[in-house]
Amino acid sequence: MLSWPEKRDVIGQSTPRVDAPAKVTGAAKYSSDVQPEGWLYGMIYRSRWPAAKVTGINIEKAKQIPGIKAVVVERDGERTVRFYGEELAAVAGTSKQACLDALLVIEVEATPLPFVVKEEAARNPNSPRVWPDAANLPEPNVREKGDVDKAFAAAAAVVEGFFTTPTQLHQPLETHGNTVSVTYDGVTCWASTQGIFSVRDGLADYLEVPHEKVRVITDHMGGGFGAKFGPGAEGGLAGRLSKAAGAPVKLMLTRFDQSLAVGNRPSSFQQIKLGADADGKMVAFEMNSFGTAGIGAGASSAGGGGGAGFPAPYIYVVPNIRVKQSSVAINAGQARAFRAPGHPIASFGMESIVDELAVKLKMDPVELRLKNDPNKIRQREYAIGIEHFGWKQKYKPPGSSPGPIKVGVGCAGATWGGGGRGTQADVQINPDGSVEVRCGTQDLGTGTRTLVAVVAAEVFGLKPEQISARIGDTQFPPSGGSGGSTTAASVCPAIFDACTNALQDLQKKTGVADARGSNWSAACRKLGVNPLTSHGKWQEGLSSSGAGGVQFAEVEVDTETGFVKVRKILCVQDCGLIVDKLTCETQINGGVIMGLGYALYEERVMDSATGVVLNPNFETYKVPNFADVPEIEVILVDMPERGVIGVGEPATIPTAGAIANAVANALGVRVSSLPITPARVLAALGKVGKVGSKA
Amino acid sequence: MNTPLCKYLRTKKMFVPVHEAEALTEAAEAGTEADAFYWCNCTLSEIGADDKPAHLRACIPGRICFKE
């Protein structure tokens, strides 16, 4: 069985991105930058009704607009639309303005239907049904263990709380979209995707062409957080437009489109009760929760929650539990996977009630966690965090901070699976000593290309910049989609195997006993004029799954304005073998910043009267900017014996819970709904009226 | 699941090799982890060709758009 080298020269160091020069000079072409010859703009005509029966779509006038080369209807025949923004038709033209003009003259015959866009209203059996044959609110999923009622009756301390989290919109800097070229010879798609082979699979079925006739390229892409799998409706429509127009069509969603129809993190409303004995050992947990995954929720999904379920009780072992979860359908865009699906929701509710329990027991919150969290890695991480954060000096009784600007601290933990499998790679060693590594993975912006170069450089005794890491093309050996924090753990072992094979082949062919490092050039020259190519694949023993991670937050809260400023986040994170310390740290930074947005700013706001998303742009849907970002300290717990474990997801999970606990510690009262806006802070302090949870 | 599923039913885990085997199983809907969302490769939408939702328990024989 292969194993990572005991002594590592490149792996584990802080290696700058190998594609950084291309990115900062603009040479790197993102999927949205691609402009094949003769390309056309593509745009989508979307439903203006949150619910309606559509009986006809007339595209004839749109076809007559100057510059318009193709117009297609998304689906023939009568249909029902179920949310504002559902795709109805698409246009392709020589300019953006031509497309906008064409969208204006598409005529739709539609009969508006009753609709509901708020979770609380949708739960009412008398509310309009999203799906006529199924209730909006299905029977809950129920899980029960032990004797909950008896355990609560015997508990020394019992706390209860109602916690809500918002629908969070997917907002990568590069919106969803593709440029698709359909010719007699096949289909080429430049996709902003987390899975090039998933796009190939989707386009092949949708356009009815063989897989081998579809090539998908993702050289650089601007972020994906779980929702960019498959070509999406926008990819399929771009393909049909290209076929109709006989030209490539670039259909990148507008920010408005992005906010309506390509997924979101479901909302949650969690009624939680937690009991413990006098020593702080948790004995009983009960939760009744609901949330929405938009049109994907409700009884129509035949028992599934459409993404609105989440693990509970989160990370702590409680012997007696009763959990009832349901997901209610509303007339809004469907949820999709969103960075650590379910976990930030679960973490916020659970970590909030744990801190409430600590207050009731008059116990240090970290001490309470250590009593109830059996995970050895998190125990170790809490110990590191206590020391580095100065927890014992900083933690004060809730609300005891003096003055109008109050300071508080909080903490929270996380768990995530990850793991790797299923990647293959080719390595080509050229007589001039250059090395090309080819792998059909994709780099979401996390640094996958750099990881490929780092692993290859380690094996060959070279520098990462000497490796040409070629990824993002379905013509390369296959790899899986980048989801679930599995990319590093899937790709790195395959690259290691392929490079190890290549090194052995080179040494065998040239007779050079050790071709690495300073011997490399001479050994490669012995190849003559023909390159050497070797293959490799993911191997057992080089990766594993299961990451923990804890975070500590320090905040200051202005009790006169309600403004929360996060001073510092400390993240103590394990991720197995660290391949590139720099990319690992930056990915954690990104996770923390996303968690900050979830904690303080982000929330989709639906309008009950019109059914529209009221904040479908960055003016009204706030994400963190640089001024909002606190000091982020990352302590990596290096565990090379575990092999590679992904880190994309765990770092975003506990941030909101840690911040919420810090705010509660500062104020002495809890803001139990995310995002923790100034209005909600002032409401918690009794200075303004209660702010709705947007249900 | 023992029931045959439509060949066009998709979910994210199918494209993530470490989760591929469990992608279309009851366990994926057990409620202990975040449950899944599905789409139809025929429509590239969460809604199938018959205007009903794509889902593990719905894209089965008997549905008008079902393809083996």
Note the pLDDT tens digit of each residue in B3-45. Answer: 899 999 999 999 999 988 888 876 665 544 556 789 999 999 9
A483/B15 Cβ within 8 A: yes
Q: What is the pLDDT of residue A141?
A: 87
The answer to whether the beta carbons of residues B37 and B24 sit under 8 Å apart is no
> Considering only residues 155 to 184 of chain A, which have any Cβ-Cβ distance to chain B shorter than 8 Å?
none
Residue with token string 């996390």? A446
| Residue A534, SS3 per DSSP | strand
**pLDDT band at residue A238 under the 50/70/90 scheme:** very high
**The two three-digit tokens of residue A93, written as one number:** 């033209």
Q: Which string of b and e fits A596-626 if b means at least 16 CB within 10 Å?
A: bbbbbbbbbebeeeebbbebbeeeebbbbee
Residues of A in contact with B41 (CB under 8 A): 201-202, 205-206, 230
DSSP letter for each residue of A360-378: HHT--HHHHHHHH---HHH
Integer Cα distance of A56 and A35 in angstroms:
34
Q: Which of B20, B42, B55 sits opposite A302 (nearest CB)?
A: B55
Write a three-state SS string for A225-259. CCCCCCCHHHHHHHHHHHHHHCCCEEEECCHHHHH
| Residue A386, SS3 per DSSP | helix
Residue A601 to residues A166, A192, A551, A676, A677: CA-CA distances in angstroms? 10, 26, 19, 7, 7
> Under CATH, domain A34-113+176-252 is a member of which superfamily?
Aldehyde oxidase/xanthine dehydrogenase, a/b hammerhead (3.90.1170.50)
Beta bridge partners of A498: none
pLDDT tens-digit map of A622-648: 999 999 999 999 999 999 999 999 999
Residues of B in contact with A303 (CB under 8 A): 29, 57
| Residue A88, SS3 per DSSP | strand
Identify the CA nearest to A591 among candidates A335, A310, A226, A176. Answer: A226
Report phi then psi at A536, rounded to 5. -155, 165
Report the chain B residue with the minimal C-alpha distance to residue A335: B37
What residue type is A616 in one-letter code? P
The answer to whether the beta carbons of residues A267 and A293 sit under 8 Å apart is no
Residue A229 to residues A239, A305, A506, A554, A654: CA-CA distances in angstroms? 16, 19, 38, 36, 25
- Mean pLDDT throughout A103-120? 98
What's the sign of the alpha-carbon dihedral B18, B20, B22, B28?
Answer: positive
Q: What is the pLDDT of residue A307?
A: 73
Q: Does A271 touch chain B (CB under 8 A)?
A: no
Q: Is the pLDDT of residue A432 over 80?
A: yes
Best of B6, B18, B40 to mutate (most A CBs within 10 Å, chain A): B18
Whole-prediction pTM value?
Answer: 0.96
Q: Does A484 touch chain B (CB under 8 A)?
A: yes
Domain ranges for chain A, please list them. Answer: 20-31+420-537, 34-113+176-252, 264-417+545-684
CA angle A80, A86, A89 (to 5 degrees): 90
Residues in contact with A508: Cβ distance below 8 Å, sequence separation at least 6, in sequence order: none
What residue type is A445 in one-letter code? G
**pLDDT band at residue A339 under the 50/70/90 scheme:** very high
Name the CA dihedral angle for A674, A675, A679, A684, rounded to a multiple of 10 degrees.
30
Q: Does A231 touch chain B (CB under 8 A)?
A: yes
Q: Is the pLDDT of residue A298 over 80?
A: no
Residue with token string 């080509």? A428
Q: What is the pLDDT of residue B56?
A: 87
HSE-CB of A225 using CA atoms within 13 angstroms:
25
B42/A304 Cβ within 8 A: no
Inter-chain CB pairs, A–B, below 8 Å: 141
Give the fold, CATH level 3, of A264-417+545-684.
Aldehyde Oxidoreductase; domain 4 (3.30.365)
| Residue A6, SS3 per DSSP | coil
pLDDT tens-digit map of A141-193: 899 999 999 999 999 999 999 999 999 999 999 999 999 999 999 999 999 99
- Mean pLDDT throughout A287-305? 80
Identify the CA nearest to A595 among candidates A615, A573, A618, A566. Answer: A566
Q: Does A206 touch chain B (CB under 8 A)?
A: yes
Residues of A in contact with B13 (CB under 8 A): 483-484
Residues in contact with A3: Cβ distance below 8 Å, sequence separation at least 6, in sequence order: A541, A542
B44/A206 Cβ within 8 A: yes
Q: What is the pLDDT of residue B21?
A: 85
Residues in contact with A527: Cβ distance below 8 Å, sequence separation at least 6, in sequence order: A429, A430, A431, A506, A509, A510
A486/B18 Cβ within 8 A: yes
Q: Which domain holds residue B55?
A: 1-68
What residue type is A562 in one-letter code? G
Q: Where does A20-31+420-537 sit in CATH, by number?
A: 3.30.365.10
Q: Which of A201, A334, A484 sits opposite B16 (nearest CB)?
A: A484
Q: What is the pLDDT of residue B24?
A: 84
Q: Does A318 touch chain B (CB under 8 A)?
A: no
Q: Look up residue A610 and give its DSSP letter.
A: T
H helices present in A532-654, as ranges: 581-600
Q: Look up residue A608 and give its DSSP letter.
A: T
**The two three-digit tokens of residue A336, written as one number:** 């999709």
> Mean pLDDT across chain A, nearest whole number?
96
B15/A201 Cβ within 8 A: yes
What residue type is A612 in one-letter code? V
The answer to whether the beta carbons of residues A601 and A678 sit under 8 Å apart is no
Integer Cα distance of A48 and A88 in angstroms:
10
Q: Is the pLDDT of residue A681 over 60?
A: yes
Give chain B's largest Cα–Cα span.
32
B32/A143 Cβ within 8 A: yes
Q: Is the pLDDT of residue A22 over 80?
A: yes
pLDDT tens-digit map of A572-612: 999 999 999 999 999 999 999 999 999 999 999 999 999 99
Q: What is the pLDDT of residue A433?
A: 98
H helices present in A395-519, as ranges: 448-460, 487-510
DSSP letter for each residue of A327-353: E---SSPPP---SSTTHHHHHHHHHHH
The answer to whether the beta carbons of residues A3 and A541 sit under 8 Å apart is yes
Integer Cα distance of A100 and B58 in angstroms:
38
Strand locations in A134-267 (E): 141-145, 157-165, 168-169, 177-183, 186-191, 214-217, 249-252, 264-265
Q: What is the pLDDT of residue A693?
A: 52
Q: Does A202 touch chain B (CB under 8 A)?
A: yes
Integer Cα distance of A433 and A631 in angstroms:
43
B20/A293 Cβ within 8 A: no
Comparing A20-31+420-537 with A264-417+545-684, is the CATH topology the same? yes
The answer to whether the beta carbons of residues A585 and A647 sit under 8 Å apart is no
The answer to whether the beta carbons of residues A136 and A328 sit under 8 Å apart is yes
**The two three-digit tokens of residue A142, written as one number:** 């129920």
| Residue A354, SS3 per DSSP | helix
The number of residues making up chain A comes to 695
- Mean pLDDT throughout A225-242? 97
Residue with token string 């994906």? A224
- Mean pLDDT throughout A525-529? 98
Write a three-state SS string for A643-664. CECCCCCHHHCCHHHHHHHHHH
Q: Is the pLDDT of residue A650 over 90?
A: yes
> Considering only residues 286 to 305 of chain A, which have any Cβ-Cβ distance to chain B shorter than 8 Å?
293, 295-296, 300-305
CA B43 to chain A, closest CA, distance in angstroms equals 7
Helices and strands (H and E) in chain A: how many:
18, 25
Q: What is the pLDDT of residue B22?
A: 83
**pLDDT band at residue A45 under the 50/70/90 scheme:** very high
Best of B7, B37, B55 to mutate (most A CBs within 10 Å, chain A): B37
CA B25 to chain A, closest CA, distance in angstroms equals 12
| Residue A662, SS3 per DSSP | helix
pLDDT tens-digit map of A528-574: 999 999 999 999 999 999 999 999 999 999 999 999 999 999 999 99
**The two three-digit tokens of residue A650, written as one number:** 């765990």
Report the chain A residue with the minimal C-alpha distance to residue B11: A229
Structural domain tally of chain B? 1
What residue type is A674 in one-letter code? L
Residues in contact with A69: Cβ distance below 8 Å, sequence separation at least 6, in sequence order: A40, A92, A93, A94, A244, A245, A246, A247
